[in-house]
Amino acid sequence: MTDELCFLPASELRTRIARKEVSPVEITRAVLARAELLQPELNCFITLCADEAMAEAREAERAVMAGEPLGLLHGIPYTVKDLVNTMGVRTTFGAVPYKDNVPDHDAVAVARLRAAGAILIGKTTTPEFGTKCLTDSPLFGRTRNAWSAARSSGGSSGGAAVAVASGIAPLAIATDGGGSTRIPAACNGLVGLKQSNGVIPHSQVQDAFGNQTYVTPMTRTVADTSLMMQAMSGEDASDPWSIGFRSGNFVEGSAPTGDLRGRRISFCLAPTGRSVAAEVVAAFKVALARLEALGAELEEMPADGYEIEPIWRAINHTAWRARFEKLAADHADELSETFLKQLALATKVSGVDYQQAMFDRTALFRRIQALLQKIDILAMPTITRTALPIDQDLFGTIEIDGQVFSDVRQNWFPWTMPFNMTGHPAISLPCGFSADGLPIAIQLVGRFRGDVELLRVSALFEASQDILGQWPGLAGG
């Protein structure tokens, strides 16, 4: 029963808790025990909150037994990425200089999960300040993929993904600034959504107006993502993009009802000049066939004009330099070489270069908007090959089917960065496995603020394949 509890989706746990078939205490005890068991193997937590979580679980159980009204996520465990503020719980940003930092308030997304009755069990690992697609840092070392100790978890929300995939908690708060939710979701066989800009308020971002980073849900199922969206979405005064957004019914609206007849899907395997592993190509073709079988009309999308990484880098690295230049000067010996190299790259970006990148971002937004006025959904592989080796260097080479390429970002995840910049919702969904048992994923992109419909399409796709219930063979599993 303990292992079953650890892998049940939040949607099922919610029903069982309400029916008094299972206790929040029983669930929380089970996932904490699994965290203690697997942490030495996976290294996906920077902080565990066992005592606090058990106290909250006992109070949640008392409320159930007393017949009190229950929140949307009452008694359900969740984790929070170590970039997102949690009141009274150590939040280090994956950086040695912040190893003892304890926030005095919750980020809006965390406060909303707490208000919904969810139980925080710990903070998950991230590279320093979430600045790369791999999850390791001088503070905690490397986080291993849930499916293979020889592979990276992806990043920067690698700890969040591994905790969910390995049965430690069904729900995770992650973040995504260039693919940081969707990349580790793809590497670990999960559902990873980067919602439309403003749908979930980002109360920590310093440049709220130019923002292209997101606080996101990470789950095992589309239904669980919808539950998190229901709890976390809605306007907040801290985020100008959120003002005026009225949260609809994500749970009912994204149920896998109907079909895809009348829906047009435009697909593209890779931007011009990018390679894709043969196993990813095969899985992507099968996924497209499933969408077509659901009634969707498919057409191929032009592959040119998506050389996005230089634009993304000019904006992101400049923001990082503004945020961290003094920190790097004061604490260079405590920060990784990779982090410092990325800050150094920003010194080559002038104010004019930065503004041109913002102009290019606007042009990209208008291009995608024009496309999505005629098309309902875009489809492409989330990443071009399965999870990278555990010792991968961001500034090293990447191999795809024996070919070696010099740039990790442009060659591994060319399709995630564009939609951070445009603000359109993009979701990574598992769609198969490689010959060596590693997950493969498809990315679907919806219309701006069309998050509910994107989740409905995703739920239909999820239901069309037999992947749910296939999880890593870990200790205690």
Domains in the chain (CATH in brackets) are: 2-463 (3.90.1300.10)
**Which one is catalytic: 23, 137, 152, 156?**
156
DSSP-derived secondary structure letter, 403: E
Residue-level pLDDT at 477: 45
Q: What distance lies between CA 159 and its chain's CA centroid?
A: 10
Residue 45: strand pairing partners: 124
Nearest Cα neighbor of 152 from 136, 130, 166 is 136
DSSP state, residue 469: T
Report the half-sphere exposure of 84 (CA within 13 A, side-chain side).
31
Q: Could you tell me which residues come within 8 angstroms of residue 267 by beta carbon, excluding any fewer than 6 positions away? A: 288, 298, 299, 300, 301, 378, 379, 380
The single residue listed with the structure tokens 């439309």 is: 196
Is 156 assigned a catalytic role? yes
Surface-to-core class of residue 93, CB atoms within 10 Å of its CB (0-12 exposed, 13-18 middle, 19+ buried): buried
Q: What are 120's strand-pairing partners?
A: 78
The reply to whether the predicted model has a pTM over 0.75 is yes
Rg value, the chain, Cα: 21
- Candidates 476, 467, 452; CA nearest to 223 is 452
Is 157 exposed, middle or buried, given 0-12, 13-18 or 19+ CB atoms closer than 10 A? buried
Q: Among this protein's residues, is 406 annotated catalytic?
A: no
CA atoms within 13 A on the CB side of 188: 39
How far apart are the C-alpha atoms of 187 and 465, rounded to whole Å? 18
At residue 132's C-alpha, the angle toward residues 122 and 367, to 5°, is 110
Express each pLDDT in 202-246 by its tens digit. Answer: 999 999 999 999 999 999 999 999 999 999 999 999 999 999 998
**Beta strand extents in 45-201 (DSSP E only):** 45-48, 77-81, 119-124, 136-137, 141-142, 171-176, 191-194
Round to whole Å and give the CA distance between 442 and 285.
10
Classify each residue of 8-26 as buried b or exposed e, where b means 16 or more C-beta atoms within 10 Å of its C-beta: bbbbbbbebbeeeebbbbb
What pLDDT is attached to residue 275? Answer: 98
Catalytic residue among 81, 123, 132, 194: 81
The DSSP letter of residue 114 is H
User: Which positions ≥6 away from 131 have C-beta within 8 Å?
Assistant: 156, 320, 338, 339, 342
Hey, what are 198's tokens? 């403003």
Q: What is the mean pLDDT of each run of 10 residues along the chain (477 residues)?
A: 85 98 98 97 98 98 98 98 98 98 98 98 98 97 98 98 97 98 98 98 96 97 98 97 92 95 98 97 98 98 95 95 97 97 93 97 98 98 98 97 96 98 98 97 98 98 89 69
How many whole angstroms separate alpha carbon 273 and alpha carbon 265? 23
How many other CB atoms sit within 10 Å of the CB of residue 254?
Answer: 26
What's the sign of the alpha-carbon dihedral 347, 351, 352, 353? positive
Nearest alpha carbon to residue 365 among 241, 254, 244, 222? 241
Structure token pair of residue 207: 């440049």
Q: Please, which residues have CB within 8 angstroms of residue 214's CB and are 6 or more apart in sequence?
A: 175, 176, 177, 181, 194, 195, 197, 200, 202, 420
Cα separation of the two ends of the chain: 11
Nearest to 415 by CA among 291, 287, 303, 270: 270
Is the dihedral angle over the CA atoms 406, 408, 409, 410 positive or is it negative? positive
266 has which bridge partners? 299, 378
Q: Quick one: which of 380, 243, 257, 375 has its CA closest to 308?
A: 380
In the set 23, 157, 166, 180, the catalytic residue is 180
Q: Report the SS3 class of residue 142.
A: strand
Known catalytic membership, residue 233: no
Confidence at residue 247, expressed as pLDDT on a 0 to 100 scale = 82
Say what the pLDDT of residue 476 is: 46
